[in-house]
Amino acid sequence: MNTFGNIFRLTTFGESHGPAIGGIIDGMPPMIKIDLEAVQAQMDRRRPGQSPLTTARRETDNVRILSGLLDGTTTGAPIGFTIENTDTRKNDYEWLRHNYRPSHADYTYAAKYGIRHHEGGGRASARETAVRVAAGAFARQLLETRGITITSRISRIGAIADPTPRQTDAEIARVKALRDTVGGVIECRMDGVPAGWGEPLAGKLSAMLASAMMSIPAAKGFEIGMGFDGCSRLGSETIDEFTDEFATATNHSGGIQGGISNGMPITCRVAIKPIATIMRPLRGSDDQGHPVTLQPCGRHDVCALPRALPVVEAMAALTLADALLLSLTSKI
Amino acid sequence: MNTFGNIFRLTTFGESHGPAIGGIIDGMPPMIKIDLEAVQAQMDRRRPGQSPLTTARRETDNVRILSGLLDGTTTGAPIGFTIENTDTRKNDYEWLRHNYRPSHADYTYAAKYGIRHHEGGGRASARETAVRVAAGAFARQLLETRGITITSRISRIGAIADPTPRQTDAEIARVKALRDTVGGVIECRMDGVPAGWGEPLAGKLSAMLASAMMSIPAAKGFEIGMGFDGCSRLGSETIDEFTDEFATATNHSGGIQGGISNGMPITCRVAIKPIATIMRPLRGSDDQGHPVTLQPCGRHDVCALPRALPVVEAMAALTLADALLLSLTSKI
Amino acid sequence: MNTFGNIFRLTTFGESHGPAIGGIIDGMPPMIKIDLEAVQAQMDRRRPGQSPLTTARRETDNVRILSGLLDGTTTGAPIGFTIENTDTRKNDYEWLRHNYRPSHADYTYAAKYGIRHHEGGGRASARETAVRVAAGAFARQLLETRGITITSRISRIGAIADPTPRQTDAEIARVKALRDTVGGVIECRMDGVPAGWGEPLAGKLSAMLASAMMSIPAAKGFEIGMGFDGCSRLGSETIDEFTDEFATATNHSGGIQGGISNGMPITCRVAIKPIATIMRPLRGSDDQGHPVTLQPCGRHDVCALPRALPVVEAMAALTLADALLLSLTSKI
Amino acid sequence: MNTFGNIFRLTTFGESHGPAIGGIIDGMPPMIKIDLEAVQAQMDRRRPGQSPLTTARRETDNVRILSGLLDGTTTGAPIGFTIENTDTRKNDYEWLRHNYRPSHADYTYAAKYGIRHHEGGGRASARETAVRVAAGAFARQLLETRGITITSRISRIGAIADPTPRQTDAEIARVKALRDTVGGVIECRMDGVPAGWGEPLAGKLSAMLASAMMSIPAAKGFEIGMGFDGCSRLGSETIDEFTDEFATATNHSGGIQGGISNGMPITCRVAIKPIATIMRPLRGSDDQGHPVTLQPCGRHDVCALPRALPVVEAMAALTLADALLLSLTSKI
């Protein structure tokens, strides 16, 4: 189950402190000119160590492409790639071998598999999102050939709605001083998607986006268009009446009606929980089910939001690339 | 793309005003005794015509089982079933042949396929959810053999949070008098799911639930556990510290950590938009892209929430049945 | 696992002596005019009771279409259909409740599921191929819009290679008089498939055809182009040299190279075993593993080949329809 | 479509003359102790340069494991691995940039994608089978925990049936002297598979094996048990009568009845065509469709059979590992 998508597919592997992470992009159409610097630029948005407010782990996150390109152009063959883990500190995690941190995946992985990589979260670490960003950068370039753009912003951090970047930095600094963490909401906007993408029933574009976004570590909520707030209102306040040429005067629907795009901008929001590692003693559990007090250490972010922006965009890009290819099979 | 699930799978067919709707349940394990009256009881919760507040369409929604049972017990073979459409009125919809209602799937289906069933929403009609409820009732009986129960409630209707049934009825009556419609939120709770269900990455239980719920017509948002509100808080306020035997003192996580169940109750909420058909003139479009004023008629609900409760539960049951079967492949 | 295909998909249900069998065709493109008489004509080629040499079971095999068509044209919505079982004789099979016939699926189904439909083979009965023929008839009409035709013939019956119809009838009559059964080989030819269909690796067109054909009850072998015989020769005898415009002088490859069609006719052969029910006492087993002598009775064919022709063609059509839709995603 | 399998899945990437090939094994159960030397031993059976009769290309084919193991034990996480291409000679293939060899995938890849890796067959090269062998070695170790073994042998080379190794070597030497190539048949035997594996209909074990084997480059035929020859006989000659405890006196069925294993050894045969590159001038085509005479050069095997043995076994292992995991979902 480490594969996203139906036709445009990403399969990933790798643990936080193993030798490398990586993935295989399958279904990429041929004859797409790839700008590898643009791929790396997406990686740089996500990688740690860029600001005093993020984790001190240093990774250059260079993407090594192993297949699927000929003279910089896709061939239709799968694109295999790896990203080396260079700044690993396995020994930092020996204390976790027999202990489970609260609100992490330590216990659930152990319950599922009977064994787990205890070093830095292993497979459950957010480090795996680097692979998504790399693959998303390829998907984005496919979409750009169709004039589709994807952007995102922090639409809430803690109690602050629609923060400016300065407000965001200040809130993170404030929370860091408290030895605490903070969550929020990321809004993502997809422009240029034509009407008619998305499949009925199980493959609704809204359901595909929901699945993609909720697969991001720390995601606890997803909404499209008017979302939860709009659902507290009346029909008369939320119907998107038509203007000319199938455009609508408002966009409460968020660009999707009946699970299929209507040509308006697609807007969605993803709720990202506060990081569960705070620099205070917490009640964890040992692997026998006995509570233990754990004092977190290691290198951790205070807020996942800034680095999650390219991840949200990557998941949007992977989803839309798949929807694009699926849409080609609906007309003949 | 009319199939839900990986191992426990439901494939559906049928339009609102065709001869019948139905589905095939594949992957149901053998030797499960099926209570067909319990299946019908779920159908009765969803079917229209039960209250003066719901659509006047009358359907008995009798489920005809065509295969997969031997003396009332599952055999491992696929369970095919049909539900006849008895109260169809195709002629009611002639005015829709060349017109698209706003905030419906009329235009998006036409854009996708170049042709559409214009009668009562065709394939996009909420009538298809009857098939989900029938299949969900089978899934539920599988889950009950493991002690799992699924319940739901309306947690918001319009501006009213945590309404009593009386409040809900009053709000619907009030909105009906306005010739308007109203949305809200349904909360679903799954008890008895053991720790260890759900797959990492693409198959996170939270992502599977999100996809299932967002595939429900009119769903515009999904959240798990603390959801959007919890993401506005600090880590110290939202970490679920352990007590004894891997239980947690709080359940902000909503029973899922790292995409895998942790043995606590699973809680999620689904935002359901106001029904887009209101009894007032609205600005639609003809199939050439010219705005037209449409006066809705036909038989419609004022609020989708009461009848959506069994649908939400059915999608939860289908998802958990799939997660159960997948979990059997993770240990050997 | 009762679903064939990736984009053009058929999901089936039904037992030999249940109320009905049926299926759902998903992925059929919209705007294809369907000739329902042509569908029924395919059914008539397969149905029993047409000749004194076939089983005495009488089925009209009328296909009831429940969805997916509007005025005889596909809409992109799934096509649900049922075929009633009218000539069932459940009581004929009571002696099989606790006994397993040799070389049938009786024991293997019981071993897999711990329970089985013992009436006429239940789910394992060749009756399910009626559903394939119905769905294949839809696929065939999709392919015909591209100029693709599918034909088949009996290329071996027992020891007779390339038999005429008269020889085939004579051989069946001869074997019937012996109270025995006989197998053979069916050759299938697909004309008009353009170069470029089929996916590399797991989705090779040869692998897809092999899977489809080997899923037919009684199939024990599959070969493409020169097949087993050609593999006993030298490279110099079997290389298809080019002539003009990418055509080849010979067609040892059977129209597929590297798993992808090359524009030449696709030819394959399917080995069909002798029917395992012969009118003589045979050593079976009871459900405790003790050998028992069984005297077969019931209504059975002497040779599966004549009625398997439309089944082989149907599986070819389903496979090619899927390959057609997949091919649309490989170029953009 | 570069993924094999349903639950136990292998996704692969890589071209013959790119920097590396590799794959991701997904679905490997946890807690399986992996013998990496045994993995490498399988690689050594397949790699070139071991005999004067095989291609002169030298590859050590060291498998670099990047994830999924903890102290040599599987964790349930995906196993990513790479195999470097060390002995590449891109310049040897410049003459192929605009020319298509007969009976190769040159033209079909170009027709499908409009672009192709012309160096050494690119993605279509048999080099990709190294990845299958590596993954198959993991699958084999999973199966060994259940007592399942997989063996294979050359059952025909050219006109010689059941050759001894000495006969095989002599035939290859003889054909090499002719500047020709030769094909044959590989027989594979799977012991220890319990009754009850394989799914009805689309997932028949025979169909899964057929698909896996026919995905091997150069495979042109597949048969199970008695295969094509047995289908020329009578029912009375080919029925596997029961003895004690569900065993059968004969095994014409090849261990599979109704698509499901019956506990007897599974036997199948794969026809492998003569390699299409012979050291003589051949009629190819340029990329405009004009015939051209090509004089093959480069490093090529004379007969694919010896090196294909571990590939056939690997595909058997991958298929059985998947069937094993699927079988866990059929009973509860």
Closest CA of chain B from D68, distance in Å: 13
Residue of D12, D106, D232 best to disrupt the C interface, most CBs of C under 10 A: D232
Q: How far is D88 from chain B (nearest CA, A)?
A: 36
B47 Cα to chain C: minimum distance (Å): 20
Residue D68 predicted with pLDDT over 80: yes
Distances (CA, A) of A328 to A324, C5, C7, C139, D157: 7, 17, 11, 18, 45
Name every chain A residue with its beta carbon within 8 A of the beta carbon of D124. Answer: none
- Residues of chain A positioned with their CB less than 8 A from the CB of B158: 232-234
Q: Evaluate whether C251 touches C264 at the Cβ level (below 8 Å).
A: yes
| Cα dihedral sign, D206-D211-D217-D221 | positive
Interval D164-174 mean pLDDT: 96
CB–CB contact C156 D12 (8 Å)? no
Instruction: Choose the CATH number for C3-329 among 3.20.20.60, 3.40.50.2300, 3.60.150.10, 3.40.50.300.
Output: 3.60.150.10
Mean pLDDT of chain B: 94
Q: Which of A220-234, C289-303, D103-117 has the lowest mean pLDDT?
A: C289-303
Residue-level pLDDT at C59 = 76
Q: Pick from D3, D66, D114: which is nearest to A82 by CB?
A: D66
Amino acid at D116: R
Measured CA to CA, the distance from residue D240 to residue D251 in angstroms comes to: 6
- B115 vs C20, C31, C78: nearest CB: C31
Q: How far is CA A140 from the centre of its chain?
A: 14
- Contact flag B248-A102 (C-beta cutoff 8 Å): yes
> Among A5-14, A194-203, B50-59, C1-10, where is mean pLDDT lowest?
B50-59
Give the nearest chain C residue to A321 (CA atoms): C329
Q: Distance (Å, rounded) from C-alpha D187 to C-alpha D312? A: 9
Residues in chain A whose beta carbon is closer than 8 A to a beta carbon of chain C? 7, 27, 29-32, 76-77, 142, 145, 200, 324-326, 328-332
Nearest-Å Rg of the Cα atoms of chain D is 21
Task: Return the half-sphere exposure (C-beta side, CA atoms, 13 A cut-off) of residue A205.
Answer: 38
Contact C330 A77 (CB under 8 A): no
Residue of A nearest to C7 (CA): A329
Using the beta-carbon criterion (under 8 Å), do A332 and C77 form an inter-chain contact? Answer: no
CB < 8 Å to D282, chain C: 239, 241
| Closest chain A residue to the Cα of B324, Cα to Cα | A112
| Token code pair at residue C312 | 């082989």
Q: Hey, are the CB atoms on A195 and B112 less than 8 Å from each other?
A: yes
Task: Please state the separation of Cα B214 from the chain's center in Å.
Answer: 8
pLDDT by residue for chain A (332 residues), tens only, comes to: 899 999 999 999 999 989 999 999 999 999 999 999 999 999 999 987 666 666 666 778 999 999 999 999 999 999 999 999 987 777 778 888 899 999 999 999 999 999 988 887 888 899 999 999 999 999 999 999 999 999 999 999 999 999 999 999 999 999 999 999 999 999 999 999 999 999 988 899 999 999 999 999 999 999 999 999 999 999 999 999 999 999 999 999 999 999 999 999 999 999 999 999 999 999 999 999 999 999 877 668 899 999 999 999 999 999 999 999 999 999 88
Q: Is the pLDDT of residue B94 over 90?
A: no
C231 versus C95: which is more confidently predicted? C231
Which one of D66, D75, D116 has the shortest CB-CB distance to A115? D75
Q: What angle do CA B15, B20, B24 make, to 5 degrees?
A: 90
Give the residue-averaged pLDDT of D175-180.
Answer: 96
Cβ distance A330 to C77 less than 8 Å, yes or no, reads no
pLDDT higher than threshold 90 for residue B70: yes
Domain boundaries, chain D: 3-329
Alpha-carbon distance B9 to nearest alpha carbon in chain C (angstroms):
9
D328 vs B328: CB contact, 8 Å cut-off? yes
pLDDT at position D297: 72
* B:C CB pairs within 8 Å: 140
Which residues, 6 or more positions from B20, have their beta carbon under 8 angstroms from its beta carbon?
B14, B82, B83, B84, B85, C66, C67, C80
Q: What is the per-residue pLDDT across B17-38, written as a single tens digit (0 to 9) for each? A: 899 999 999 999 999 999 999 9
Residues of D in Cβ contact (< 8 Å) with A76: 109, 112-113, 115
Tell me the H-state helices in chain C: 36-46, 106-113, 129-144, 165-177, 205-214, 227-230, 235-238, 305-327
Q: Do residue B76 and residue D329 have CB atoms under 8 angstroms apart? A: no
CB-based contact D11:D23 (threshold 8 Å) = yes
Within 8 A of A286 by CB-CB distance, chain B residues are: none
Q: What are phi and psi of A17, to 5 degrees?
A: -120, 25
CA A213, CA A129: separation in Å to the nearest integer?
12
Look at residue B123 and tell me whether its pLDDT is greater than 80. yes
Contact D332 B332 (CB under 8 A): no
Beta strands in chain D (DSSP E): 3-4, 9-13, 20-26, 63-65, 69-70, 73-74, 79-84, 99-100, 149-157, 160-161, 184-191, 219-224, 256-257, 260-261, 266-272, 282-286, 291-294
**φ, ψ of residue B213 in degrees (nearest 5):** -70, -40
Over residues C53-78, the pLDDT tens digits come to 666 667 789 999 999 999 999 999 99
Interface test with D, best of B329, B330, B331 (most D CBs within 10 A): B329
Mutation target to probe the C interface, by most C beta carbons within 10 A, among D100, D178, D239, D290 is: D239
Q: Are residues B278 and B180 in contact, defined by beta-carbon separation less than 8 angstroms?
A: yes
Query: Contacts of residue A109 in chain D, CB cutoff 8 Å?
Result: 76
Closest partner CB to D211 (pick from C111, C198, C207): C207
The minimum CA-CA distance between A26 and chain C, rounded to whole Å, is 11
Q: Which of D19, D76, D115 is nearest residue A30 as measured by Cβ atoms?
A: D115
Counting DSSP H helices and E strands in chain C, the numbers are 8, 17
Considering only CA atoms, which of A282, A212, D79, A273 is closest in space to residue B256?
A273
Contact between residue D130 and residue D16 where contact means Cβ atoms under 8 Å apart: no
CB contact under 8 Å between D260 and C220, yes or no, is: no
pLDDT in tens, C269-294: 999 999 999 999 999 999 999 999 99
Helical H runs in D145-198?
165-177
Residues of B with CB under 8 A from a CB of D: 7, 27, 29-32, 76-77, 142, 145, 200, 324-326, 328-332
Measure C118 CA to nearest chain B CA, in Å.
Answer: 10
A253 to chain D, closest Cα gap in Å:
34
CB neighbours (10 Å) of residue C88?
19
- Among B29, B200, B330, select the one facing D332 at the smallest CB separation: B29
Statement: residue B49 has pLDDT above 80 = no
**Cα–Cα distances in angstroms (integers) from residue B188 to residues B166, B210, B215, B265, D136, in the given order:** 20, 12, 15, 10, 43
Q: Is the pLDDT of residue C7 over 90?
A: yes
H helices of chain B, in order, are 36-46, 106-113, 129-144, 165-177, 205-214, 227-230, 235-238, 305-327
pLDDT digits (tens, 9 = 90+) for B176-232: 999 999 999 999 999 999 999 999 888 999 999 999 999 999 999 999 999 999 999
Residues in chain B with CB shorter than 8 Å from the CB of A102 are 239-242, 248
Q: Quickly count: other Cβ atoms within 10 Å of residue B130's Cβ.
A: 29
Which of A30, A77, A326 is the closest to C331 by Cβ? Answer: A30
Beta bridge partners of D188: D152, D268
Whether D108 sits inside 8 A of C196 (CB atoms) is: yes
Q: Specify the 3-state DSSP secondary structure of A152.
A: strand
In this predicted structure, the answer to whether residue D332 has a pLDDT above a threshold of 90 is no
Which residue among C4, C230, C274 sits closest to D234, beta carbon to beta carbon? C274
